[in-house]
Structure 1
Amino acid sequence: MTRGPLAPTGATVRRPRRLLARAAGSEMVRATAGTLALRVVSLGLVFACQLLLTRTLGAHGYGLYAYALAWLNALIVPATLGSERLVVRQVAVYRATADWPSWRGVLEWAGRSVLGAALALALLAAAGAWLVAGRAGAPLVFWTAMALLPVLALVRLAQYALQGMRLPVLGQFAEGILHPLVFVALLVAARVADRSLSAAGAMGLNVAATCAALACSLELLRRVVPRPVREATPGRRVDAWSRSVLPLVVAGGLYAVSGQVPILVLGALGGTEAAGVLSVAKRLSDLLLFPTIAAGATLAPTLAGLWATRDTSGFQRTLTTFTRGVAGVAVPLALVLLLLRRPLLEAFGAPFGAGAGALVILCVGQVV
């Protein structure tokens, strides 16, 4: 039978899919480049914070600070209930399918759930602070870190909501740029005022900087959420969202806790100075996660959108490009860290040079 002039052919059907896949790939490249630039600036600010903290607090004081921060980082995943990853995925899907009620519903449900869980967990953890009461200053810095938990949880949730809308640079601005910038400014102001800063005081400045980041995140989210979403009646898919959250909590919680276990063990045994040294070494080794985080901020919503539209070939190509790009950056960076490990560590203070061996092990583990 002769095809009519408007009858679709296989090539005609496949061509739009190829164009969509290429558009998704180019969008991911642009967004990844923007995220990479933001991460470079953020990295400089974070290391400025680290240098100021280690130079101001010393090895012992920074050890107390790092120990409390390790508990915070271990508790942040159960505090957010894994919903930040759910929000990235579902916002991307609801955006692709124009499901405005479900979009608003998942944001409201996640916000209420995260705030309630983070507050409850912070109160429970603060009540158990007697476990570290044997070291001077430890309970106060721990309680201050727990006050940071609900604030940071909401910052992360807003960040991932923006990432789900394919706005990764905007999403990471508050935590990646504003927070360390305000923190550096507060630390410098404390040094200029010539006031002695304790570990608890430094954590209090961190809380203030995180509150500024939260205010910025919520304002950005308010501005960019489309009007149809704001005006829609919230959809209710609580059962489906709750079922999706459980595996995310387990997977994310295991990863978060595993990264903090050595610091937590050293701090619990009373080796706060050793915990501080290990924390600096771990911070340097975390640079190897830099390309994964930079590209991953764009990858998750891109893959969710491709999966929602059943574009499996575009899904595979995007994932392959991501894997090759990450390996191409992480391996050379690991070599630089291994060659310059001692000078880099001693930049934080002479006692931190003792973490050179730990840095080698951590770098190998990150690459493998």
Structure 2
Amino acid sequence: MSFQAQLTLLKSQLVRAITGSFALSVTATGLGFLTSVVLARALGAGGYGAYAYAFAWVNVLCIPAQLGFDKLLVREVAIYQGRKQWGYLRGLLRSANWVCFITASLIAGGVFGITLWFRDAINAEFILPLWIALLLVPITVLTRVRQATMFGLRRVIQGQISEYLVRPLCFLMFMLGASQWWIGEIAARDAVAINVFAAIIAFCVGAMILLRALAVHTGQAAPAYQFKNWIGSAFPMMLLASLQAINAHVDVLMLGAMKGEEVVGIYYVALRYAALISFILVAVNSSLGPRIAQLYDRQDLIGLQRLVTMSSRAILVIAVTILAILVIFGEWFLSLFGEEFVTGHTVLTILCLGQIVNSAMGSIGLILTMTGNEGLAARGAGITAVMNIALNAVLIPRYGMEGAAVSSALALISWNLIFAYWVYRRVGIVPSAFAKLS
């Protein structure tokens, strides 16, 4: 097959792989922003800040609870499926679910005990929403294990339906119903409790979808185990994911501790808008992970370079378009949440600059983890996490939410430069939208 024919085939495969995921991501993003607008207007900046603070902690706590299995599953499920090793696939899934559930429950219980003991030293507006949100830790962890399994099986859209559609729709319906016929005025604790119920329903729907998908392959296979190898690979991935979570949420957590819930609410809205720039990156990564693992397993570096370059170009084109819209109409978008949120426009602009660099570099973190270089990725994430914490500690007291935005943007840019260098040195490809196709 000629180079041009291979390129055409790869393009068609890539388009098919990401089109459905992209459409679903667009729908989910729209629902997410509708939910955020409803919440922000119902709770105000302070209440929304308490809600966001609780969920920032949930996201951080879920990472060590997952023990890296959510990342490992995408790679190993794709490899086991390619090799038709159904026994190992079944053993991996059984191990991941039990280990992650037990770990998540222990972590959530431990944090509840610690915060109960020190509750007098914690902001009263934060404590009750946080306690209720801890119920989400085991639910979220098992949800991510299930999603990773579906991604590894290359059933990306089916793996996202429950979280991207079922959960936000249930949440919106419960919120509107509670405000109209039950609670009346919604507080942050009520919104968190409603989210827990929506998450339980979405989890049940997703579990049924997964069981149907697995029945095709693993129904008759006896489970086999490589537990030592799985833990050995999962631990660096857990470390990497933990450091990623620190980089993603340390600004919100430190801002809440230093400046209070109202500032967090305004900052979090700007952060959500800036994240729109890289949402196409998230959509592409959902489809790309198994393909990267399989191409690298076959040592097809030419095919891998083409895949990475084309996906990076698609990501950058869409990201630049979103950037232009946000910069031009940023104040209007922020005003949708309430006039008090317009003060976050400078924060939005700063965060957007970091996100556009992130989009231009493509799926660098995914490439390292899917090619067995998770230990190296964790080292790079550790460097940027320390940098992020230090910058926030210095800049937030003096510059508030603008200081948090500068810290996050600089850490994100540094992250991408470090990872891009290591992908080039270790994997042998150039991870950029500007790289050649061959």
Structure 2 match to 1:68: 54
Whole-Å Cα distance in 2 between the matches of residues 68 and 173 of structure 1?
Answer: 24
CA contact (8 A) 1:88 1:163 kept: yes
Distance 1:348 1:234, change over 3 A: same
Match of 1:178 in 2: 166
Q: Is the 8 A contact 1:18 1:314 kept in 2?
A: no
The answer to whether 1:295 aligns with 2:281 is no
Counterpart residue identity of residue 96, structure 2: A
Query: Is 1:57–2:46 an aligned residue pair?
Result: no
Where does residue 149 of structure 1 map in the other structure? Answer: 137
Kept in 2, the 8 Å contact 1:31–1:169? The answer is no
Unpaired runs of at least 5, structure 1: 1-14
| Equivalent residue, structure 1, for 2:127 | 139
Alpha carbons of structure 1 residues 221 and 24: separation in structure 2 relative to 1, 3 Å:
farther
Cα shift readout 1:67-95 (whole Å, capped 9, x = no counterpart): 11111122222121121111010010011
Letter in 2 for 1:93: I
SS in 2 for 1:231: coil
Q: Could you tell me how far 1:292 is from its partner in structure 2?
A: 0.5
* Closer/same/farther in 2, CA of residues 357 and 144 from structure 1, 3 Å limit: same
Secondary structure at the counterpart of residue 91 of structure 1: helix
In 1, the alpha carbon distance for the partners of 2:204 and 2:107 equals: 22
Query: What pairs with 1:1-368 in structure 2 (closer than 5 Å)?
Result: 15=1, 25-130=11-116, 131=118, 133=120, 134-193=122-181, 195-269=184-258, 271-368=260-357
Matched AA of 1:295: V
Provide the C-alpha distance between the structure 1 equivalents of 2:2 and 2:107, rounded to a whole number of angstroms.
Answer: 49
Secondary structure in 1 aligned to 2:124? coil
CA-based RMSD: 1.9
Q: Could you tell which deviates more after superposition, 292-301 or 68-77?
A: 68-77
- Give aligned pairs, total: 354
Gaps of at least 5 residues in structure 2 are 358-438
SS in 2 for 1:125: helix
Q: 1:305 to 1:16 in 2, by over 3 A?
A: farther
- Are the counterparts in 2 of residues 35 and 294 from structure 1 also a CA contact under 8 Å? yes
State the 1:313 CA deviation.
Answer: 2.1
Structure with the greater alpha carbon radius of gyration: 1
From the superposition, tell whether residues 210 and 24 of structure 1 become closer, same or farther in structure 2 (CA, over 3 Å).
farther
Calculate percent identity across the aligned residue pairs. 33
**What is the SS of the residue equivalent to 2:247?**
helix
Q: Does the aligned pair in 2 maintain the 1:118–1:149 contact within 8 Å?
A: yes
Contact 1:28 1:302 in 2 (8 A): no
Q: What is the Cα deviation at residue 306 of structure 1? A: 1.9
CA distance in 2, matches of 1:144, 1:41: 28
TM-score, length-normalised on structure 1?
Answer: 0.91
**Shift of the alpha carbon at 1:24?**
5.7
